[in-house]
Chains A and B, each alone.
Chain A
Amino acid sequence: MLVLGIESSCDETGVALYDTEHGLLSHALHTQMAMHAEYGGVVPELASRDHIRRVLPLTRECLQQAQKTLADLDAIAYTAGPGLGGALLVGSAIANGLAFGLDITVIAVHHLEGHLLSPMLADPRPEFPFVALLVSGGHTQLMAVHGIGQYETLGETLDDAAGEAFDKTAKLLGLPYPGGPALSKLAEQGDPNRFSLPRPMLKSSHLDMSFSGLKTAVLTLVRQQEQHGAIDDTTRADICRAFQDAVVDVLLHKSAAALKQSGLRRLVVAGGVGANRQLREALNQFAAKQHIDVFYPPLSLCTDNGAMIALAGAMRLQYARPAAGFSVFPRWELASLPRLNPPQDAA
Chain B
Amino acid sequence: MNCIVLDTATEWVALGVYAHGKLWQADAHIKQGHAEYTLPQLRQLLEQAKLSLAEIEVIVVGNGPGAFTGLRIGCGLAQGLAFAHDLPLMPVSTLAAVAASTDADYPLVAMDARMGEVYFAAYQADAWQQPIVSPQLITPAQLPALPAQAWTGCGTAWSAYPEPLQHALQDHQLTISPVAVPTSAGLLRLALSGQFSTVSAEQLSLLYLRDKVALKTHERR
Q: Which of B31-39, B124-132, B160-168, B178-186 makes up part of the contact surface?
A: B31-39
Q: Which of A25-33, A92-100, A157-165, A278-286 makes up part of the contact surface?
A: A92-100
- Residues of chain A within 8 A (CB-CB) of B42 are 100
| Residue B174 is within 8 A (CB to CB) of chain A in the complex | no
The closest CB in chain A to the CB of B56 belongs to A101
User: What interface size band does chain A fall in?
Assistant: 35 or more
| Residue A102 is within 8 A (CB to CB) of chain B in the complex | yes
- Residues of chain A within 8 A (CB-CB) of B206 are 49, 52
Q: Are A45 and B84 in contact (CB under 8 A)?
A: no
**Contact residue among B53, B72, B213, B214 (Cβ-Cβ distance under 8 Å from A93):** B72
How far does the alpha carbon of A281 sit from the alpha carbon of B176 in the complex, in Å? 71
| Distance of A35 from chain B, by nearest CB (Å) | 11
- Residues of chain B within 8 A (CB-CB) of A46 are 213-214
Q: Which of B75-83, B97-105, B146-154 makes up part of the contact surface?
A: B75-83
**Contact residue among B36, B76, B216, B217 (Cβ-Cβ distance under 8 Å from A94):** B76
How far does the alpha carbon of A89 sit from the alpha carbon of B74 in the complex, in Å? 10
Q: Are A326 and B40 in contact (CB under 8 A)?
A: no
Residues in B12-70 with C-beta less than 8 Å from chain A: 35-40, 42-43, 53, 68-69
Knowing A39-B217, A101-B80, the reply to whether A324 touches B35 (Cβ < 8 A) is: no
**Contact residue among B69, B201, B215 (Cβ-Cβ distance under 8 Å from A56):** B201
| Residue A307 is within 8 A (CB to CB) of chain B in the complex | no
Knowing A89-B69, A89-B73, A323-B39, the reply to whether A39 touches B202 (Cβ < 8 A) is: no
How far does the alpha carbon of A98 sit from the alpha carbon of B79 in the complex, in Å? 8
Q: Are A52 and B80 in contact (CB under 8 A)?
A: no
- Residues of chain B within 8 A (CB-CB) of A70 are 83-84
| Residue B85 is within 8 A (CB to CB) of chain A in the complex | yes
Knowing A59-B83, A94-B79, A325-B40, the reply to whether A101 touches B53 (Cβ < 8 A) is: yes
- Residues of chain B within 8 A (CB-CB) of A99 are 80
Q: Are A97 and B69 in contact (CB under 8 A)?
A: no
The closest CB in chain B to the CB of A38 belongs to B216
Chain A 170-193, CB within 8 Å of chain B: the 1/0 string? 000000010000000000000000
| Distance of B10 from chain A, by nearest CB (Å) | 16
The closest CB in chain B to the CB of A171 belongs to B217
Residue pairs across A and B with Cβ atoms less than 8 A apart, 28 shown, are A39-B217, A46-B213, A52-B76, A52-B79, A56-B79, A70-B83, A85-B69, A89-B73, A89-B76, A90-B72, A90-B76, A94-B77, A94-B79, A97-B39, A97-B78, A97-B79, A99-B80, A100-B43, A100-B77, A100-B81, A101-B80, A101-B82, A101-B83, A101-B85, A177-B217, A324-B39, A324-B43, A325-B37
* Given contact pairs A100-B39, A101-B80, a sample of 15 additional A-B residue pairs in the complex whose CB atoms are under 8 Å apart: A45-B213, A49-B68, A52-B72, A89-B73, A96-B77, A96-B80, A97-B80, A97-B81, A98-B81, A99-B80, A100-B80, A101-B53, A323-B39, A327-B35, A328-B35
Chain B residues engaging chain A, CB cutoff 8 angstroms = 35-40, 42-43, 53, 68-69, 72-85, 201-202, 206, 208, 213-217
Chain A residues engaging chain B, CB cutoff 8 angstroms = 38-40, 43, 45-46, 48-49, 52, 55-57, 59-60, 70, 85-86, 89-90, 92-102, 177, 323-328
